[in-house]
């Protein structure tokens, strides 16, 4: 049964890769990989995009809502929180082609009585765009504006009841931590395309 948590996909503007969400990896648009994985897990999926991306998404028959806060991912998370009544949000970026359903299910199992469930990568860095947030706390923290640097980690570092999923826990499910892979540059895109062609 799909989880009652609402999934929020963020589609922003990339300065380093032109038309990033629509580039092809393994015979699918980059955005489609995460979309198809998440649709199997959640009853509600909301795609939040910038105004620049709206017409492109519509062209690809993808329904979305727009935000115009111009503060990066925090603006998208706030808009997503305003667009649902779910208690929790699973937030992820559109450029993550290897989301792991079992990792996400594991995280969902940790959400009870928390404000945030957030994993660490193998460098000990928090992954705020692969995290679960209590909707009411998101709206509370962003009601009056944003931190000066607009850092996405602001939510997890400000919330009080935070469950951090250690790398060793994730590796029991996804030993190479592929679930955190995102595509940031043309070099990343070419490397993943070449990798997939050799499989």
pLDDT value for 4: 83
Burial class (CB in 10 A: 0-12, 13-18, 19+), 51: exposed
Angle value at C-alpha 127, between 64 and 69, nearest 5 degrees:
40
What's the pLDDT score for residue 96?
A: 96
Per the structure, how many domains does the chain have? Answer: 1
Contact present, 50 and 68 (Cβ < 8 Å): yes
Contact 119, 132 (CB under 8 A): no
CB atoms within 10 A of CB 143: 8
The pLDDT profile of the chain, 199 residues, written as one tens digit per residue, is: 677 899 999 999 888 888 899 999 988 999 999 999 999 999 999 999 999 999 999 998 899 999 988 899 999 999 999 999 999 999 999 999 999 999 999 999 999 999 999 999 999 999 999 999 999 999 999 999 999 889 999 999 999 999 999 999 999 999 999 999 999 888 888 876 644 443 3
> Residue 85: which domain range?
3-197
Q: Rg of the chain's alpha carbons, rounded to an integer?
A: 16
**Residue 16: CATH number of its domain:** 3.90.550.10
Q: pTM here?
A: 0.92
For residue 193, the model assigns a pLDDT of 63
């Amino acid at each position: 049964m799909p989880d009652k948590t609402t999934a929020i996909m963020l589609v922003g503007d990339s300065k380093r890769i032109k038309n990033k969400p629509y580039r092809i990896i393994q015979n699918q648009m980059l955005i489609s990989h995460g979309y198809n994985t998440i649709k199997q897990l959640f009853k509600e999926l909301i795609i939040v995009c910038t105004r620049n991306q709206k017409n492109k998404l519509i062209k690809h028959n993808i329904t979305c809502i727009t935000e115009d806060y111009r503060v990066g991912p925090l603006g998208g998370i706030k808009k997503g929180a305003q667009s649902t009544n779910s208690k929790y949000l699973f937030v992820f970026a559109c450029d993550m082609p290897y989301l792991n359903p079992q990792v996400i299910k594991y995280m969902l199992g940790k959400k009870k009585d928390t404000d945030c469930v957030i994993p660490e990568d193998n460098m000990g860095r928090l992954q705020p765009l692969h995290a679960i947030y209590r909707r009411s706390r998101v709206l509370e923290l962003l009601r009056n504006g944003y931190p000066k640097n607009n850092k996405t980690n602001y939510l997890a570092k400000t919330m009080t009841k935070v469950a951090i999923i250690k790398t060793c826990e994730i590796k029991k499910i996804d030993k190479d931590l592929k679930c955190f892979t995102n595509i940031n540059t043309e070099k990343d895109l070419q490397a993943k395309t070449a990798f997939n062609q050799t499989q």
